Amino acid sequence: MKLAAASPFLCFVIILISPNLVFASDALSPSATHTVWIAIAGALVFLMQAGFAMLETGMVRAKNAVNVMMKNYMDLCVGSLLFWLVGYGLMFGYNPSGWIGTTLFGLAKAPDWDFTLLFFQMMFAATAATIVSGAMAERTNYIAYLIGTCGITAIIYPVFGSWAWGDGGWLKQMGFIDFAGSTVVHSVGGWCALAGIILLGPRLGRFGPKGEARTLPGHNLSFIAIGGFILWFGWFGFNGGSTLAAGTNIGLILLNTHLAGAAGAVAAMLMSFATRQPALMTNAVNGSIAGLVAITAGCASMQPPYAALSGAIGGVLSVLGVMLLEKMRLDDVVGAVSVHGICGAWGTLAAGLFLTGNMFNAHQVSVQLIGIGAAFVWVFFSALIMYFVISKVTTLRVSTMHEQRGLDVTEHGEIGYPEFGTNNAYNPENIKDLKN
């Protein structure tokens, strides 16, 4: 029975480590090889959604665990449909203006390779959207959050993506380097998160009357660690698959990715000690993710020592970024703005600074800075307007009572840990009696 249950996983592993056991080498065409690699890489990026869900759930209180899981689950579903219908066309459709694509909406008839690219890029769109979830956790109306996901995956992310990655995009024509999305994916998610937390305001009790930061610890550190491992694993598909081909440079890309993640965690720990903080699990995991974000732009174009340096600086920035937001009384539950927004910007700059064979080229660095600035201006202000409109049309932030009770029961009618509940308010029969 155990062998039967494990057989699908074993088959997947065999395909990964030894394709020739499954496909005859003389029968598998190059295009089929590329397709298999991109499909596997896309599946790895899909798995990152589970990593985000575990990480974010561990960082919130138990009364909001279901809510965070549901946001991560459904933003993948909603975002995938919207990206297929609208976003992919805006991002990769025919783009004579250099600003947005005009074809490929709701793709139904196309060459096989186009469907492979759509599947792979769809996973990236979901990643950009789910970054926002953790930052805005524990006080956001669930439906309002999903409406925001629609705006990100259908418009905000694809429009900037068309500038940087789409054929004819004005940033791409300038020579902007962002191989796998330090800015295109991660900073986009981070700047959307920044706009969201500014409009939402902090959670109840997060800051004292004099502005002093108060810790609201998450309920499950094990979830955080497991989520970090899953994200790290998925990142090999995120960066490695961005080759869009099964080439020999994948080894360098994966090595750079791993070194940056490791250096980010170590640097975050050292920075924690330097700022008189304990060796927190959250800092270590966020440091590794910051390193991974930082290398995403330049993983294919820099040498391993500089990949490690880029990741280490990302780890330092992840700690300093959280401290800066606290000084500004901005409540980012999981550190998404610093890890994805700030470190994504740094990684994009690093891709220009440490470009193999053309390091510290002033022109390339200036192009990188233009791309970073364009991303912030477009994404932050678009998201700020979007969330402002959502707050006027519906409720962006839940009521004080709902926030105190927890969003599991008030938004979903269930809780993640029913065996620990003693309050009658958690009885599904009583949910209809809750008032704003």
Q: What percent of the chain has pLDDT over 70?
A: 90
pLDDT attached to residue 435: 47
Is the predicted pLDDT of residue 426 greater than 90, yes or no? no
The H or E element that residue 424 is part of is none
Task: Give 402 or 16, the one with higher predicted confidence.
Answer: 402
3-state secondary structure of 290: helix
Instruction: Pick the more confident residue, 6 or 242.
Output: 242
| Residue 423 pLDDT exceeds 70 | no
**Amino acid in position 343:** C
Report domain extents, the chain.
32-94+111-397
Q: What is the rounded CA–CA span in Å between residue 131 and residue 128?
A: 6
Q: What is the Cα gyration radius of the chain?
A: 22
pLDDT tens sequence across 153-170: 999 999 999 999 999 999
Joined together, the tokens standing for residue 318 give 């992840």
- Fold entry, domain 32-94+111-397: Ammonium transporter fold (1.10.3430)
Non-local CB neighbours of 348 within 8 Å, separated by 6+ positions:
177, 178, 182, 183, 187, 297, 368, 371, 372
In total, the chain counts a number of residues equal to 436
DSSP 56: H
pTM exceeds cut of 0.85: yes
105 compared with 14, residue with greater pLDDT: 105
**pLDDT over 70 at 273, yes or no:** yes
CB 153 within 8 A of CB 129: yes
**Helix %, strand %, coil % of the chain (to 5):** 70, 0, 25
The three-state secondary structure class of 14 is: helix
**Residue 28 confidence class, pLDDT cut points 50, 70, 90:** confident
- Environment class of 24 (CB within 10 Å of its CB; exposed 0-12, middle 13-18, buried 19+): exposed
Residues 6+ apart with CB under 8 A from 420: 62
Q: How confident is the model at residue 428 (pLDDT cuts 50, 70, 90)?
A: low
